Structure 1
Amino acid sequence: MAIPFGATWGTLIERCEDLPDEATLITPLASKRFRITDVQDQRIIIEDVDSGDSQPLQREQFAALAEHTREASEGYELERLPPKAEPYAAVLALHPRYVLDERENTLTELDEADESAVLDDAPHLSMSAGANDQQDSEREEPEIDVYSDMLLLIDALEREDMSALESVETPVLVNLYTLLSDVQRNANDLRQDVTDVLLERVGHDRPVHGQYGSIQRTTRRNRSLKDNEEVLEAFAETGIDREQLLGVDRSKVEEALDVVSVPESAVYDVSESEYVRKAEVDEERKETRLQGLKDRLAVSDDPEADALRQEVERLEQEIEELTEFSPASSFETQPESG
């Protein structure tokens, strides 16, 4: 039996009132940021983080969205929402009975409310003060190797035409290969460190989403044979001949090849492939170049630095334009095509 929306609304209001003032919600498709500024009997007032525009979210529109979600057995497809109605989905997902899946772009009503759900883990909600604004103001250069190597790599990539590698001079290709190798190694090291922390936070029950993707905890099963005697003993009473279980010992084959004239090709399938490997890295030269890049950006009267800063400002402006918020006055579902 469906739960009356009045009960759902009451719980949703409580969840909204329990949010800290600095909590920021994010719309599931457009990734627009907003905060809840007031909770009333018949509506919830939100404010766009970027523009400061205020918008009332009406109770009857939440009821309509809840009904559509209940009717969608596989989850309500968020793409059917009018663009200006996305905040309704983000707010409704604060209710423990609703799950917002940003990977599948669906809003689903659970059979039972998930009272164990932690708001801090919700992909569409940031509980930290200031959200992205605070992160931008507190950004510092990280003391990790992959960051420095990536700066050098970006600088090198911007100087060459990567669409025509055949025309790039050999010393430049050597530099690129060296930097790519360093970035790959250090990125893998950092990824492992991140993995270790995530394993302590992510359970097996559901994916966890971020702005650029999602992860899910999985288990990989690895096998390695025990000692020969243990293996043979395990099969001793099964009727399997011991000789069937005994394989060729590669180390003994190598020893035999050293003392007899049997050709290698008689016991090995041999193939060759050509590759290059990093022989050495000029760390001093890398550090000098890296410091030069930093100094270039720090000198205010350097035309090239000004150009770089202007490019950053242009990109930031484009991002702001892409995330502009237009408040909606009502919620109406779009008909499903086809």
Structure 2
Amino acid sequence: MKTFLITIIAFFIFSASQAQDSEYRTDIPVHDPVVIKQGDTFYLFCTGFGVAVWSSPDLKQWKREAPVFAEAPTWANDINPEFKNHIWAPDITFHNDRYYLYYSVSAFAKNTSAIGLAVNKTLDPTSPDFKWEDKGIVIQSVPGRDLWNAIDPNLVFDEAGTPWLNYGSFWNGMKLVKLADDLKTVQNGPEDWYTISRRERSFELDDRNPGDGAVEAPFIFKKDGWYYLFVSFDYCCRGVNSTYKMVVGRSKDVKGPYLDRFDKSMFEGGGTLVLEGNADWHGVGHNSAYTFDKQDYLIFHGYDAHDNGRSKLLIREMKWDSDGWPIVKLEE
């Protein structure tokens, strides 16, 4: 009888947890979020095992979906032998009737890293066309060779329709590289690579040391003829001790230079503050930016001071001042 009761109790606990996980939630654990809308549904991709995925009808109530990769990409262990399918910082774009998902495979605090690409015809998991096809490595960084880190990808198209991938974390800053029309092949001419943001403290580094020039998570948002480059300064991933903050610069040319409000180049450590943590959120950052239904949004994560510093999803409306700089309020 005792065994039977234990079995029944365990069944109900399991059923309750499954039901809770399948329901829409507002308070979801998220790191490095990006969002896209297909039809009437928003899909959120973020750091997690196999790339974590959530869906929502309204950007408020979220439902967990199956991850992109049930098993690690076949090439990932060649990059990092200790890789356990915990994939970082994805980016999602719809182009030429396909969804292009960039993602990061890395070892923490090392530039043993690579950016991969997966493609799908649809984001609707109930569609017969739903299938992620991994395209493999786009770009790789190697200790002892590179002064940059191949993580935190973001795809942007310039006014001519040319695709560019910006990415980076610590070391010598954020990189911008031109891609071929397949959105995978990196171009390697003298006009195809740029450094678009870095911290002043990172100007002289050893290639095996990330240094203390804490900048990462680039995201370029186009508005009113400007390219706005958002990056995150300082430190994530430390719970209540996180010091993340978001800054921005802008340029008329996707290649830069990106200048802040006071005309300081982000190549020289510049950046106008957009948002930083407060007593409720200890560190906010790694943002993406979008226009949905004529409203601009800043989407990012923050460390909840009232929940042991757990990282959670934050979505805020983004306004603009008379000079064309973004205004975002942390408290709703």
The two structures share one fold, judged by TM-score above 0.5? no
Which structure is higher in RCO with an 8 Å CA cutoff and minimum separation 6? Answer: 1
TM-score range for the pair, normalised by the shorter chain length: under 0.3
TM-score (norm 1): 0.22
TM-score, normalization by structure 2? 0.22
Which has the larger Rg?
1
- More strand by percentage: 2
Relative to total residues, which structure has the larger helix share, 1 or 2? 1
